[in-house]
Amino acid sequence: MKLIIFGAQGYALGAYEAVKTLYPEHEILFFMVSSKENNAPVLAGLPVREISSVLPEMSEEERKSVKVLIATPDNVQPEIVELLERYGFTNNKRLDSDGWADLMERFHAKTGKFQPLGSLMTGPDLAKLCVFAARSHKDKALGSSAVLSGYVCPLQVGKALCDESIAELSDDTGDNISQKNGNYSELTGLYWIWKNRLCKEDSSDKDGHDYFGLAQYRRMLVLSEDNLRWMKENDIDVVLPYPLPYDPDINAHHERYLKETDWNALLRALKEIQPEYADAFPEVLRQRYLFNYNVITAKRSVLNEYCSWLFPILERTEEYSVPKGCDRSDRYIGYMGETLETLYFMKNAERLNIALAECRMYI
């Protein structure tokens, strides 16, 4: 079967790799987009084509018969369906969040590079979770279909920068860096969790949670009861989102968001504070998989250890940045956090028991 993949970012590349591995009988023709602006001309060796440029080459019958897999975030898929149908592409399949999660689980289970939670043995007991979902006063309301799990607790981030309160918990209490939210984004929430929950075992966790975590308001790990049993039975140390692949590597992806001077500041901080990780950093940048969104759920000890490693590096990076972190507010530290999360857990993959799960975008 001939197939076109609509999209040219991480979702689309992930779909390409999964389809190529799981369904080798499919002939993937090219990637298609509504506009080539901000998209690479080639992805995984295949051209990225603007939909209007395809029309002269394909008859009406061919456009009706070829299958188009829509591999983009859920929130833009309805308008893409309308666009495709307007151009005569009617054999379309939306790869929604559930479909994406199923495809990634089967793909990673087959390749063996990463371990999906769904590939593990189950047990009778459920892991106890406490996951804080970072929220901003600028967030729009979630759709009525968004039903959050009982272990998810809203945490307002950047509270020191606004007067409006939208959650019972906020990151401007206790030991905090709430005023740095313009650079750290959701990571001011992770700092608050670290200092005010993980470091205070005596009174902060009366319910005896096995795992703590950070999610975003619209992006969080989807963990069913079966997932919680798998985590407990298999003694999972950390659950991360399915990584998104980037072409040719994650360094090229981050060049869209970060300056070379920022990377130099980060590398300088790593060499000074964690030289072992500085040696591994170039290799991680040259590989294709990134754990996005700073979303994580881990055992208390593991998350505590990670935060103790992460935040001194970020603080030193702010000092070495040009301009310094205190003189800007462009979320660059939040972007760096994604790469540092990838660096840390890829380097510790043999020491830690890491599993993957769907990170759903709620709309």
Q: Is residue 167 part of a domain?
A: yes
Q: Are residues 274 and 319 in the same domain?
A: yes
Convert the pLDDT of each residue in 341-359 to its tens digit. 999 999 999 999 999 999 9
Q: Which of 95, 129, 163 is the last residue of a domain?
A: 95
Convert the pLDDT of each residue in 44-73 to its tens digit. 999 999 999 999 999 999 999 999 999 999
Domain of 238, CATH number, reads 3.90.550
Q: Which of 95, 127, 143 is the last residue of a domain?
A: 95
Tokens of 2: 């001939």
Domain of 80, CATH number, reads 3.40.50.20
Q: Are residues 241 and 357 in the same domain?
A: yes
Convert the pLDDT of each residue in 112-159 to its tens digit. 999 999 888 888 899 999 999 999 998 988 876 677 889 999 999 999
Q: Is residue 169 part of a domain?
A: yes
pLDDT at 251 over 60: yes
Q: Is residue 182 part of a domain?
A: yes
Q: Are residues 90 and 121 in the same domain?
A: no
Q: Are residues 133 and 199 in the same domain?
A: yes
Q: Are residues 338 and 212 in the same domain?
A: yes
Convert the pLDDT of each residue in 171-203 to its tens digit. 999 999 999 999 999 999 999 999 999 987 654
Vertex 324 angle, CA 319 and 329, to 5°: 125
Q: Are residues 148 and 238 in the same domain?
A: yes
Q: Are residues 190 and 154 in the same domain?
A: yes
The model's pTM? 0.94
pLDDT at 204 over 70: no
Q: Is residue 108 part of a domain?
A: no
Q: Are residues 327 and 190 in the same domain?
A: yes
pLDDT category of residue 363 using cuts at 50, 70 and 90: confident
Distance CA 308, CA 233 (A): 27
Q: Are residues 265 and 303 in the same domain?
A: yes
Q: Is residue 104 part of a domain?
A: no
Q: Is residue 354 part of a domain?
A: yes
Q: Are residues 58 and 179 in the same domain?
A: no
Q: Are residues 79 and 160 in the same domain?
A: no
Q: Is residue 180 part of a domain?
A: yes
Convert the pLDDT of each residue in 74-122 to its tens digit. 999 999 999 999 999 999 999 999 999 999 999 999 999 999 998 888 8
pLDDT of residue 258: 86
Q: Is residue 84 part of a domain?
A: yes
Q: Are residues 124 and 222 in the same domain?
A: yes
Q: Which of 95, 127, 144 is the last residue of a domain?
A: 95
Strand pairing category for 238-241 and 296-299 = antiparallel
Domain count, the chain: 2
pLDDT of residue 121: 84
- Domain range holding 222? 117-361
